[in-house]
Amino acid sequence: MHPSSANFAVGSYSCPWIVFHDLVRTSKPFLRDATECSAYALLLFGGSMEVQAGAGLIVVAGWTRLTANAQIGALIGGLRKRVDELLDKKVEDPTVSIAGTTEMRIIVKI
């Protein structure tokens, strides 16, 4: 973690994943613009998602492997598709409110 990061002094994290924008190399590699990330956030926003039902895995972005049954993968995949559609609508028309939708309420809960 880069010394200028707000997370530099954090001793332990409550989430198992950290996402970052920059990896800089000075005297050693440092992460900048980094934040904790839950498994659900990775599943919903982390890149392509592949459900490997036989292995009980969901693979995100081709390398992050999360243990889950196929039903969870199908549910998350469906929610993700709906959220992508809502975000596309919001980009097309910024005045559209998506905050009160069922999908957004589910995301807030999980």
What's the mean per-residue pLDDT of the chain? 86
Stretch 1-21: mean pLDDT: 77
Q: Where are the beta strands (DSSP E) in the chain?
A: 17-25, 29-37, 49-52, 57-60, 64-67
The conformation of residue 2, written as its DSSP 8-state character, comes to -
pLDDT, tens digit, 9 for 90 and up, residues 46-90: 889 999 988 999 999 888 899 988 888 889 889 999 989 999 999
Q: In what order do the strands lie in the sheet with 49-52?
A: 49-52, 57-60, 64-67
pLDDT, tens digit, 9 for 90 and up, residues 62-71: 888 999 888 8
Per the confidence metrics, is the pTM higher than 0.75?
Answer: no
Is the per-residue pLDDT at 11 higher than 80?
no
Nearest to 107 by CA among 35, 41, 61, 50: 41
Cα 99 to Cα 108: distance, rounded to the nearest angstrom = 10
- Per-residue pLDDT band for 98 (boundaries 50, 70, 90) equals very high
